[in-house]
Amino acid sequence: MTVLIITYSNDNESIPLVMKAIESKGEKAFRFDTDRFPTEVQLDIKYSDAEQVIITDGEQKLDLSEVSSVWYRRMRYGQKIPDSMDKQFRDASIEECRATVRGTIASLEAFHFDKMSNVDVAKNKQLQLKVAREIGLLTPRTLTSNNPEAVKQFAQECREQGIITKMLSTFAIYGEQGQENVVFTTPVTDEDLEHLEGLRFCPMTFQENVPKALELRITIVGHQVFTAAVNSQKLAGSTYDWRKEGRALLKNWEPYNLPEDVEKKLLKLMAYFGLNYGAIDILVTPDGRHVFLEVNPVGEFFWMEIYSPNFPISEAIAEILVGREKIGLL
């Protein structure tokens, strides 16, 4: 049997790490780069006297009846379709690619790590905060709004520590030369509060500025919990968002003993969303409180594994994908 990995051609080191771990167990792994479909990869889905679904990538071919498990990782539907195509036709082609790929995945009678429907629901940040609070996790005071007056009122409520702003979706703004400008978590100044007119075009999310002693990245795979900590406050650029100094902090992540009650609550959160995998961000305050920020159901882990022997996350993923680890959540 074969593990099918759904990703795209420029995905990071996590893919070869997991593929190597799968192959070390004597199993096969097949990589489907969604950005190369339909221009370079063919997908044949036939419903007749018998059902047959075939992926063809150059000399490689996979009959999806041989797939025992699927890792729904990263999607870039039809990204190699030429930009020169009329925009209306290109958009329609990409949407048809999306429908084709997602329909194929949904129809697979294999173990899903994780189900697309579960991942889609879990990506809703407001729902995450609501469920986290109900479970008993600490969360920051939060406001999502397009109303300037509501934002000013919220800033007054959080006057002592200030507020930050962030986006619910992940995206980047690209300059004329193609440079990528990622939208990071940013402090809100008094001057910013006087220039909130742009909210009428786009809502934003605001949170109280929680003081940090450490930032945690907790990667959960099945029932295994890998917790790493970094002191993001040691660099001026990462005060509000460690990702701004992500490269500089790569080798500074260290193992962290997560309190048992917090770990149990996080496992309850994962069970609520029906997830076997999640990358969770938590802040540790100077007085030792653990404040939940969010869970990314397809979040990154590779940098911790590359720079530390304490986080064999790809091995844990491979164990589940080849069926050698009992899944207790689902």
pLDDT tens digit sequence for 188-214: 999 999 999 999 999 999 999 999 999
What is the structure's pLDDT at 326?
Answer: 47
DSSP letter, residue 213: S
* CATH for 141-208, options being 3.40.1010, 3.30.1490, 3.20.20, 2.80.10: 3.30.1490
pLDDT at 327 over 60: no
Instruction: Identify the CA nearest to 292 among candidates 300, 301, 284.
Output: 284
- Domain over 211-321 is classified CATH 3.30.470.20: yes
What is the structure's pLDDT at 181?
Answer: 65
Of 6 and 235, the structure prediction assigns the larger pLDDT to 6
What is the structure's pLDDT at 329?
Answer: 45
Please state the rounded mean pLDDT for residues 261-284. 97
Q: Where in the chain is the domain with CATH 3.30.1490?
A: 141-208
Q: Where in the chain is the domain with CATH 3.30.470.20?
A: 211-321
Long-range contacts of 116-119 (CB under 8 A, 24+ apart): 116/72, 118/273, 118/274, 118/275, 118/297, 119/72, 119/275, 119/297, 119/298
pLDDT in tens, 42-94: 999 998 888 899 999 999 999 999 999 999 998 999 999 999 999 999 999 99
Please state the rounded mean pLDDT for residues 219-246. 84
Q: Where in the chain is the domain with CATH 3.40.50?
A: 2-113
- Alpha helices by DSSP H, listed for the chain, are 14-24, 87-106, 116-122, 125-135, 148-157, 190-193, 260-273, 302-307, 313-321
Task: Identify the CATH number of the domain defined by range 2-113.
Answer: 3.40.50
User: Is the pTM value of this prediction over 0.75?
Assistant: yes
Instruction: Work out the percent of the chain whose per-residue pLDDT is above 90.
Output: 78
Averaged pLDDT score across all residues of the chain? 91
Please state the rounded mean pLDDT for residues 116-120. 94
When mean pLDDT is compared over 74-78, 114-118, 131-135, 198-202, the highest value belongs to 131-135
Please state the rounded mean pLDDT for residues 303-326. 86
What is the structure's pLDDT at 5?
Answer: 97
What is the structure's pLDDT at 178?
Answer: 59
pLDDT at 168 over 90: no
Long-range contacts of 291-295 (CB under 8 A, 24+ apart): 291/138, 291/139, 291/140, 291/210, 292/129, 292/132, 292/137, 292/138, 292/139, 293/139, 293/140, 294/125, 294/128, 294/129, 295/122, 295/128, 295/269, 295/270
